[in-house]
Amino acid sequence: MPVKKIGFIGLGVMGAPMSRNLVMGGHEVTGFDLSAEAIRAAGNRPASSAAAAADGADCIITMLPKGDHVKQALFGDGGACEKLPKGSLVIDMSTVQPLETDEIAAEAQSRGFRFVDAPVGRTSRHAEEGKLLIMAGAEVGDLEDARQYLSLMGDTIIHCGKPGMGSRAKIVNNYMSIVSNVVVAESLVLAERSGLDLDVAIDVCRGTTAGQGHLNTTYPAKVLQGDTAPGFMLDLALKDLKIALELAARINAPTYAGAAARPVYELGQACGKGREDWTAMLQLLRGI
């Protein structure tokens, strides 16, 4: 594989190991970060600015906290686009508001660069191991070019669509995992406060939809097949939710997520979906 010149901007918890994997893959990586300590710790060739990191590069990669940082690093004073050769790839791997990704993509393209948004799933441990899940938004040809870099940082690359779609996939994914984190914690506190052994509660929940997740169990079997004949009726789900909320109120267990879910089930009932499968929730929300 030909050695490529890569400018890497943002050498924090994620960026540092990702950039090291590009070096291990045989590429010449020049790193820039606002923190001199981060540059030193990453161990790449150091640059004095984002522009310097991009000078003569085939590709610039950003791994920064927010969209504003990405704009500054690419388009600000001393930004990468001042020195990046036209036609080069700009790959933003940060988690960014997708509407800002659209702005960044349009600005990069208007300046003559090819843009790929490629935010990542999983953890810093996976970044160390080169086993991230990468969600790419890109034109097909640009993704083919970007794969030589992305495949050194991740073991799963999903093409989500045109530029901006990787960023959207990341936010959808995080919305699901961030909200479900609350209900997992609530459920375990409910278990503890109701006197259950926590390990027993975890064993039970891991064996059902609760722990295995609707996306792995009920949705593919029912609503995603267009089938909402009741397996488990929405009416019964609401009955059980009310029981849980009542128990929680008696024993002072917090139920923020449960309280937010209740009116949605009630709406389903009011809209005549009470006797349908509980996965008819998807159709209910599509209709809003």
* Residue 245 CB contacts under 8 Å (≥ 6 apart), including other chains: 255, 258, 259, 262
Interface with ligand NAD by CB under 6 A: which range of 27-35, 154-162, 211-219, 258-266?
Answer: 27-35
Selecting among 71, 170, 222, 273, the annotated active-site residue is: 170
Interface with ligand NAD by CB under 6 A: which range of 67-75, 153-161, 202-210, 262-270?
Answer: 67-75
Measured from the CB atom, is 80 or 201 closer to ligand NAD? 80
- Asked if 134 is part of the footprint of ligand NAD (rule: CB under 6 A), the reply reads no
Residue 60, Ramachandran bin (φ over 0: left; ψ between -120 and 50: alpha; else beta): beta
Contact 57, 88 (CB under 8 A): yes
* Residue 63 CB contacts under 8 Å (≥ 6 apart), including other chains: 8, 9, 10, 11, 12, 14, 15, 18, 93, 94
Among 72, 109, 151, 269, indicate the residue that binds ligand NAD (CB under 6 A): 72
Measured from the CB atom, is 20 or 69 closer to ligand NAD? 69
CB of 26 to ligand NAD, least distance (A): 23
Measured from the CB atom, is 62 or 88 closer to ligand NAD? 62
The site that binds ligand NAD (CB under 6 A) totals a number of residues, namely 24
| 111 SS3 class | coil
131 part of the active site:
no
Q: Whole-angstrom Cα distance, residue 200 to residue 196?
A: 7
140 alpha-carbon distance from chain centroid: 21
Contact 3, 26 (CB under 8 A): yes
Residue 58: both structure tokens together: 């085939």
131 alpha-carbon distance from chain centroid: 14
Among 84, 91, 120, 171, indicate the residue that binds ligand NAD (CB under 6 A): 120
| 213 SS3 class | coil
Residue 277: both structure tokens together: 């499968």
Among 6, 9, 23, 138, indicate the residue that binds ligand NAD (CB under 6 A): 9
Contact 218, 279 (CB under 8 A): yes
Measured from the CB atom, is 60 or 120 closer to ligand NAD? 120
CB of 46 to ligand NAD, least distance (A): 12
- Asked if 124 is part of the footprint of ligand NAD (rule: CB under 6 A), the reply reads yes
Q: In the Cβ-directed half-sphere of 163, how many Cα atoms lie within 13 Å?
A: 22
Q: In the Cβ-directed half-sphere of 55, how many Cα atoms lie within 13 Å?
A: 10
- Asked if 47 is part of the footprint of ligand NAD (rule: CB under 6 A), the reply reads no
| 90 SS3 class | strand
Interface with ligand NAD by CB under 6 A: which range of 28-36, 134-142, 208-216, 231-239?
Answer: 28-36
CB of 174 to ligand NAD, least distance (A): 9
Interface with ligand NAD by CB under 6 A: which range of 11-19, 149-157, 195-203, 241-249?
Answer: 11-19
Catalytic residues: 170
What residue ranges bind ligand NAD (CB under 6 A)?
Answer: 9-15, 32-35, 38, 50, 63-65, 69, 72-73, 94-95, 120, 123-124
